[in-house]
């Protein structure tokens, strides 16, 4: 009994992919330039709290709320222009609200509180306030103080105290107290409850990231992508030939920028999860490219003397069915997340679909054609070198003079 196999692409297909390399590369360069312009100049990436720093709240309302009205209510609190976006489906009535501040207290306000506490209570030996940490004041006294008196002294200076904590209480040691005051999240929650009703607003979660930490995370995210590409460059160079490496790296850069374009166009938050998406797309894209390169190497041994252009075209056509099935199966696994996912899960799935399409396209029209261009450029240089007149040997010149 003869086994029959399903063939998505019939054997012998000979589509001329290399023919369109000039058009494809031109379109890709234009798209990449537009994405980079959008990410850096205008409208810029919508950085999440991971990278931008600030306070992010996930808020659940018991009844429908207008996004514009919610943005206006938060902006009245003096945090500048807040970012408000719907979280999940419209029926869930959940929103992400982000402001750029993580502390209501300023350095000047903290110094005023220190002066009032020093005047009201004796024995203050140390005071610490870091706006990067949030609305937290650390006091050190030489002897125990009444916590309610400390709370009163801080509130006298105009700060609303949420909690007073005694950190150390060893015999004979200084007493350390931490005073937690109302922060941006508390102020936003109180204002929204006053507007929509005490039982209508639920603060699901609150996250704080300082601006310096956000900047460092941003730098680390960029470096992680660059390191991944550098290691892939070395891997491809050793596995195949270093003449193949530039094409792979150019294709990976293309895929990373196109995936970045999803966040530029959609205006969804760009955060640590987004960096994970880009790294995943880079790994997926290089896997598909290496499969095609493997077939090019096999065909080079099988068809000796055949031009590289024809070898590349033949190899892409032979792997066409495999590429479509693999990419399609991966994309299908993301469909459920696109239909039922919310928030960062949906962003991850949507960006991955964009990355899969870009990775498949770059294998056909970026990586392999770049290898052909490099090969042709090297052949032209070699021909020019050989065409140059060679200098005559000294003894031959002397013999000619005689």
Please give the average pLDDT of every successive group of 10 residues along the chain, which has 402 residues. 60 83 92 96 88 90 92 88 85 90 89 92 92 88 91 91 83 86 92 94 88 82 89 83 82 94 92 91 88 89 88 91 88 89 86 94 88 81 77 57 52
- Cα–Cα distance, 318 to 311 (Å, whole number): 10
Query: What's CA 68's distance to the chain center, in Å?
Result: 27
- Cα–Cα distance, 15 to 225 (Å, whole number): 33
* Digit-coded pLDDT (tens) for 88-102: 888 899 999 989 888
- Tell me which residue of 181, 164, 172 sits closest to 144, measured CA to CA: 172
- Cα–Cα distance, 34 to 11 (Å, whole number): 39
Q: Are 61 and 200 in contact (CB under 8 A)?
A: yes
What letter does residue 392 receive in the DSSP assignment? P
- Cα–Cα distance, 279 to 225 (Å, whole number): 6
Q: Round the CA-based radius of gyration of the chain to a whole number and report it.
A: 31
Q: Are 276 and 345 in contact (CB under 8 A)?
A: no
Query: Position of tokens 């949906």?
Result: 346
**Each residue of 142-170: b (16+ CB within 10 Å) or e?**
eeebeeeebbebbeebebebeebeeeeee
Q: Are 150 and 161 in contact (CB under 8 A)?
A: no
Query: Which residue segments constitute the domains of the chain, with CATH numbers given?
Result: 18-43+211-382 (1.20.1640.10), 54-103+185-209 (3.30.70.3400), 107-182 (3.30.70.330)
* Digit-coded pLDDT (tens) for 119-177: 999 899 999 998 888 899 999 998 889 999 999 999 998 899 999 998 866 666 788 99
- Cα–Cα distance, 227 to 283 (Å, whole number): 12
Query: What's CA 16's distance to the chain center, in Å?
Result: 35
């Amino acid at each position: 009994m003869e086994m029959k196999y399903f063939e998505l692409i019939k054997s012998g297909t000979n589509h001329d992919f290399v023919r369109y390399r000039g058009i494809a590369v031109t379109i890709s360069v234009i798209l990449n330039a537009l994405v980079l312009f959008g990410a850096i100049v205008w409208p810029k990436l919508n950085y999440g709290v991971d990278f931008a720093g600030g306070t992010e709240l996930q808020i659940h309302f018991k009844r429908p709320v207008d996004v514009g009205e919610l943005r206006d209510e938060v902006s009245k609190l003096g945090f500048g222009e807040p970012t408000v976006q719907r979280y999940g489906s419209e029926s869930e009535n959940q929103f992400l609200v982000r402001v750029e501040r993580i502390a209501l207290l300023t350095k000047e306000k903290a110094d005023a509180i220190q002066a009032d506490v020093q005047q009201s209570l004796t024995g203050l030996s140390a005071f610490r306030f870091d706006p990067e940490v949030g609305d937290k004041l650390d006091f050190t006294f030489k002897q125990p103080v009444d916590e309610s008196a400390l709370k009163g002294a801080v509130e006298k200076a105009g700060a609303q105290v949420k909690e007073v904590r005694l950190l150390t209480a060893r015999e004979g040691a200084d007493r350390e107290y931490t005073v937690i005051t109302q922060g941006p999240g508390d102020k936003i929650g109180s204002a929204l409850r006053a507007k929509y009703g005490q039982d209508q607003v639920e603060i699901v979660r609150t996250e704080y990231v300082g601006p310096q930490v956000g900047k460092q995370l941003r730098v680390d995210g960029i470096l992680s992508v660059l390191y991944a590409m550098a290691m892939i460059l070395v891997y491809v160079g050793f596995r195949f030939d270093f003449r193949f490496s530039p094409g792979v790296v150019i294709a990976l850069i293309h895929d990373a920028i196109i995936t970045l374009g999803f966040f530029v166009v959609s205006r969804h938050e760009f955060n640590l999860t987004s960096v994970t998406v880009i790294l995943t797309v880079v790994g997926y894209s290089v896997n598909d490219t290496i499969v095609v390169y493997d077939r090019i190497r096999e065909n080079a041994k099988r068809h000796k003397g055949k031009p590289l252009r024809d070898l590349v075209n033949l190899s892409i056509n032979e792997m066409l069915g495999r590429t479509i099935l693999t990419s399609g199966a991966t994309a299908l696994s993301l469909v459920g997340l696109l239909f039922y996912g919310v928030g960062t899960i949906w962003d991850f799935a949507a960006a991955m679909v964009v990355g899969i399409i870009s990775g498949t396209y770059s294998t056909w029209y970026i990586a392999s054609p770049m290898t052909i261009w490099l090969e042709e450029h090297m052949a032209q240089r070699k021909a020019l070198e050989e065409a140059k007149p060679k200098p005559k040997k000294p003894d031959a010149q002397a013999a000619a003079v005689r």
